[in-house]
Amino acid sequence: MNTFLLKPGKLTLADCRRIYQGHLAIELDSSCREAVAKSSDTVARVISEKRTVYGINTGFGLLASTRIPEEKLELLQKSLVLSHAAGVGKLLPDNLVRLLMVLKLSSLAQGYSGIRQETLDALLTLLNHEIYPCIPEKGSVGASGDLAPLAHMSCALIGIGDVRHKGKLMPATDGLAKVGLEPLVLGPKEGLALLNGTQCSTALALAGLFAAENNFSAALVAGAMSVEASLASVAPFDHRIHAVRGHKGQIQVAENLSHLLKGSEINKSHINCDRVQDPYSLRCQPQVMGACLDHMRYTASVLLTEANAVSDNPLVFADDNEILSGGNFHAEPVALAADTLAISIAEVGAISERRIALLLDKNLSTLPAFLVEDSGVNSGFMIAQVTAAALASENKSLAHPASVDSLPTSANQEDHVSMATYAARRLGDMTANSAGIVAVELLAAAQGIDFRAPLKTSTRLAEAHQALRKRVPFYKQDRYFAPDIDAVTDMIAKGEFNGFATDSELPTLG
């Protein structure tokens, strides 16, 4: 098993991607122990000095002015966790929970949260033994952090609720016993430190980003293959056109398309054709996909910052012997980034769907109608394009910004919320939709290239075409279509088209 050394606050996007994609043995950098101990000692001093500090010996939210006696502080933290574990809906998948737990550990171990080392060690033990808390996907507005999801995570530590181990559900007490742990008794502030934070919305948004990266790479290949299949011009990808505009993403997409199409016999066969211009879905790929890439990079930078952030409240500044209450739990940065990513995801799918429609139209593509021989008897790709249109249309609705919505909570104490958790969660549906669209385009474009034989496509696209044909044969006559789409969607999800672009920054963003 691979071991990953977690240096709190030092995660990279590549680290997050590895953690999300598969189980790793996580080792917490020992250098964080001193800061954790100093932070915990500062909280203990507040209790011994009988000072009143929010989150340590007061109520929460609108009850913040209520002083809690010392003998009830343990009950206060347990009651907080239990009352906030009010999530509903399907359970988050294990890989998402794993990433969430690592993000939480990275935040808490930076020494600003007042949490004890033994609490961190218990969370780490569950993580390394693949004992994942059962966390419902709905119930957070992304304001005082992801309270409900993180409360469900915290319930596992105190032996409440259920956990999942290798797909099997069991009571949290059994999961703890399986790894030699007793239910924790949370110390002052620990429940609040565990519950406050943006780790659920950030993990969901990162998952969306990783899927969007795979879709983007596959869409570049699909777009280049559609250029070939439709006998479109490569002139619009000339670097001079894009250099004078100056957008980095646009320049790189044009370079990648040129690289993918280099040396094509199909392209050389129609250099002197009488077509003046191609439709925008072919010609303007650098402008559209490049803009999406630039905004994906913006999203990636925001999410990486948040992945390394300390986002609970109040925060303990041990060196100054101060505990300050602020609002780092407000997930507005994640909400806005997720909304931006949603638009890019929708646009990648939207332009892909337009190329599918073009390929099926014999008047535009000069290919057999609906990309099948003996059309009429055979319907070919007719309904596959309808599916792509349905998915693209659904993404239009899902792309509506979540961050512009806000419903006050907690008796108007939390009077503006981010909706970051939904903003991030809906990215899963959107990336699945776009992957389905791009899968249909890859199938359609591969079919079109086959019809151009004996002319050959470029070396790089021939490799992509061959990889696809190993999974899905040529569509000679009507057959059960859904498995073909599923097979190519699976290839996209596994990143099997990621290596066909240049060795530049594409497709990896971090």
- CA atoms of 277 and 268, how far apart (whole Å): 16
CA 8, 10, 16, 18 torsion: positive or negative?
A: negative
54 is catalytic: yes
* Six token digits for residue 177: 């016993």
- CA atoms of 14 and 193, how far apart (whole Å): 27
Cβ within 8 Å of residue 510, ≥6 positions away:
12, 13, 14, 16, 17, 300, 304
Number of Cβ within a 10 Å radius of residue 386? 13
CA separation, residue 142 to residues 194, 239, 423 (Å)? 15, 43, 9
Q: What's the order of all strands across the beta sheet hosting 168-171?
A: 131-133, 162-165, 168-171
Catalytic hit among 54, 112, 132, 475: 54
Cβ within 8 Å of residue 71, ≥6 positions away:
none
* Six token digits for residue 269: 């066969």
* Six token digits for residue 445: 């474009």
Ranges of H-type helices in 308-403: 332-360, 362-365, 382-398
Catalytic residue IDs: 54
